[in-house]
Structure 1
Amino acid sequence: MRESETLHTRVANVVSWCVSTSFSATSPRSRGSEEHEEGNLPSHIVFFAGLLILTAMSNPVITQPGAGSYGTNVQTGEWSTGLCSCCSDLLVCGLGFICPIALSCYTANKYGENACLACVPGGMAAMRTHMRLTYGIQGTICNDALMTCCCGIFETCRMAREIRIRNGET
């Protein structure tokens, strides 16, 4: 028997036990009563919890996705340009300093996200984390939040440059 079948069998047994336990109350509950016997959950909660568990277990992740063949620094785990390398892409640098919101919306759009992500608090930090993980760049979520908060425009420019480099636009 495969490991996933064993897991599915175990989950199904737990769910059926929970459902049978919730229906095994000796005294009928009055309609509208908020009191439940100790240890018994309402059957609809148990049913939906079991359904969610079975749905989550139906497609387990067997291998983790790796970084694709994106470009320059996938092997080294570093950004292609430095934080203050604005002169390497004057279009991004100029747009960033003239209208930072426009650059943030452009960056989110080029990355494949909704352009409004730039207007959501923490949106650029989340996008930086996703970008870093996608491109295989080393770092932490805390560092992502600090960089986008403290070095906002410089980090947005670096993210835009990274996308342009990886897409072969520079």
Structure 2
Amino acid sequence: MYTSSHGNAKYTPAGYPATAMNVPHHPHVSPFHGTAASAAGWSTGLCHCCDDPANCVITCFCPCVTFGQIAEIVNKGSISCAASGAVYGLLALTGLSCLYSCVYRSRLRGQYDLEEAPCADCLVHFCCETCSLCQEYRELKNRGFDMGIGWNANMDRQGRGVTVAPVVGRMAR
């Protein structure tokens, strides 16, 4: 396997670490859980919904879709997008969906060693559910996941060497 060195870690030409942990590399966040001395920052801010306006609109009108996509990736395909979205939708009828979704924010943070910011996970989801879902969606997308195809298709693409390039940043004048 051809690898190029970047710092202390080795990555394949597709941007994946040359280790057993096949997580897309993002230059602003560590793909390795527990390797940094402290938690890494999110790739985008909580209120940067304009970075992905299509997802922002979908999340505002039907947050169960965005939540289902996030949950399927965080659960590594063990629970489908449709099943997670349906549970979220049912809980939304009772007003308890934010409790369910904050659990997934905590899991996502744990998987990628992200800081608990701007405040506690449940508080973020309780005060700004749509913004938190959009941020989590962007985080996974920026880490190279194609959110529209689910976990299994992402792993299939990765196995074939087809990847979605992680978002590095925006050009500014």
Change (3 A) 1:130 1:70: farther
CA deviations over 1:49-99 (Å, ceiling 9, x no partner): xxxxxxxxxxxxxxxxx9x66423226611110111011112211211221
Partner Cα distance (1:148, 1:107) in 2: 14
- Which protein is bigger by CA-based radius of gyration? 1
Decide whether the 8 Å contact of 2:66 with 2:133 is kept in 1: yes
- Out of 126, 129, 139, the position equivalent to 1:162 is 139
- The CA deviation at 1:150 is 1.3
**Partner residue, 2:70:** 107
Decide whether the 8 Å contact of 1:117 with 1:123 is kept in 2: no
Query: Does residue 134 of the first structure (1) align with residue 115 of the second (2)?
Result: no
**Partner residue, 1:25:** none
Query: Does residue 86 of the first structure (1) align with residue 63 of the second (2)?
Result: no
Query: Does residue 145 of the first structure (1) align with residue 108 of the second (2)?
Result: no
- Give the secondary-structure state (helix, strand or coil) at the position aligned to 2:120: helix
Amino acid at match of 2:54: L
**Partner residue, 1:24:** none
Partner Cα distance (1:139, 1:97) in 2: 23
Larger helix fraction of residues:
1
Tell me the number of residue pairs that the alignment of Structure 1 and Structure 2 aligns: 103
TM-score of the pair, normalised by structure 2: 0.51
Partner Cα distance (2:46, 2:52) in 1: 12
Change (3 A) 1:143 1:108: same
Change (3 A) 1:103 1:133: same
Aligned-pair Cα RMSD in Å = 2.7
Decide whether the 8 Å contact of 1:92 with 1:103 is kept in 2: yes
Unaligned ranges ≥5, structure 2: 1-20, 31-35, 147-166, 168-173
Partner Cα distance (2:72, 2:57) in 1: 18
- The CA deviation at 1:117 is 3.6
CA deviations over 1:12-68 (Å, ceiling 9, x no partner): xxxxxxxxxxxxxxxxxxxxxxxxxxxxxxxxxxxxxxxxxxxxxxxxxxxxxx9x6
**Partner residue, 1:61:** none
- The CA deviation at 1:168 is 5.2
CA deviations over 1:82-121 (Å, ceiling 9, x no partner): 1110111122112112211221112212333523345265
TM-score of the pair, normalised by structure 1: 0.51
**Partner residue, 2:29:** 73
Unaligned ranges ≥5, structure 1: 1-65
